[in-house]
Amino acid sequence: MHSNEFKLYLGELKYPNIDRSLADLKLLGEIKVENSIANIELLTTSDESYLAVKKLIEESCGTQFGALNITKKNTQVKKDMNYGHSANPNNRAKYAKNVIAVTSGKGGVGKSTVSVNIAIALAQKGYRVGILDADVYGPNIPRLTNTESERIQWNDEDKIVPAENFGIKIMSVALTTPAADTPLVWRSSVAINALIQFLEDVAWGELDFMVIDMPPGTGDVQLTIAQELPIAAAVLVTTPQTVATDDVSRAVMMFKDIHVKMAGIVENMSFFIAPDTKNRYDIFGTGGGEKIAQKYDIPFLGAIPLDMQIREASDKGEPPVARGDESVKKYYRDIVENIIKNSDFTL
């Protein structure tokens, strides 16, 4: 096989877990085939990418040559990765007037459900809204918005086209994987690069609000988002349970330390109303979210019950604020009104 033929062949190989070829991604440098030895230069931007493409090539054509010499050359134009500072952040989403970061101290408190319903409630008020699923290791936004079967596509400007449903634009790493249960075994640096790409290389259009569903905790992603975007408001989600409020306290202190304005606290799974007796049960305790709000002098945005309708609708990808009854919709709409009231948004 001649060098040009081999380069065309390599160019048609699909990058692992992404429906784009090596040629589309401009990952191939100089290719030479001499005396049954193939010399392949890869224009990769990370060690992880280099190893993934190297393995792909070796598995695809390793038996066709006497030897494969695959090298890495970092000559590809890289993105600007000069990180900002949380006190003076970059703005990688100039198309969005306002950025709302929704986070929690721990997982399992319903943060993603709250994020989706906040985004849709904003869209119902006539705003242009996008939601970015920054919880790269547990991306739930596609399921919650009934877009989990979609996969990313590119437009003529080589931008990723976001999914759309319920009046909002949606981007998640879950839309790039071949199956819903594909694990993302990424180091944090790779995850952060992916998030930067989703901010800069997605055709979001002009947005009034970008809602970011953050991962739980106080790690690299939270710090990077605070450095790379001017966050207009942070919304913290907790349950009344002491172990959850302990963790959300750490998240509150993180945002204070990195100078991010907090719109307030949402208490999710706040109480349960038995459908038969109408008795109220405080399964996870009571008043935890309000106590945190009082302790740190930040607003309490509202409480959302542990409700079968919310759980069932969310599992089916039918967000309660869009498909629920009026009493359920009101929980989220009131929270959005309080977020707007407690924030200095550009509207």
Q: Where in the chain is the domain with CATH 3.40.50.300?
A: 96-341
Q: What is the topology classification, in CATH, of domain 96-341?
A: Rossmann fold (3.40.50)
- The whole-model pTM stands at 0.78
Predicted local distance difference test score (pLDDT) of residue 86: 62
Predicted local distance difference test score (pLDDT) of residue 85: 63
Predicted local distance difference test score (pLDDT) of residue 46: 67
Give the percent of the chain with pLDDT over 90: 56
Through-space distance between the first and last CA atoms of the chain, rounded to whole angstroms: 60
**pLDDT, mean of each 10-residue run, the chain (347 residues):** 86 82 85 89 78 89 85 57 67 96 92 98 98 93 95 86 97 86 79 90 97 89 90 95 90 89 96 92 92 95 95 95 95 98 93
Give me the sign of the Cα torsion angle 23, 29, 33, 37: negative
Q: Which helix (H) or strand (E) holds 235?
A: strand 233-238
Q: How far apart are CA 43 and CA 217, in angstroms?
A: 35
- How many C-beta atoms surround the C-beta of residue 280 within 10 A? 12
Q: What is the topology classification, in CATH, of domain 3-72?
A: GMP Synthetase; Chain A, domain 3 (3.30.300)
- How many C-beta atoms surround the C-beta of residue 68 within 10 A? 16
Q: Where in the chain is the domain with CATH 3.30.300?
A: 3-72
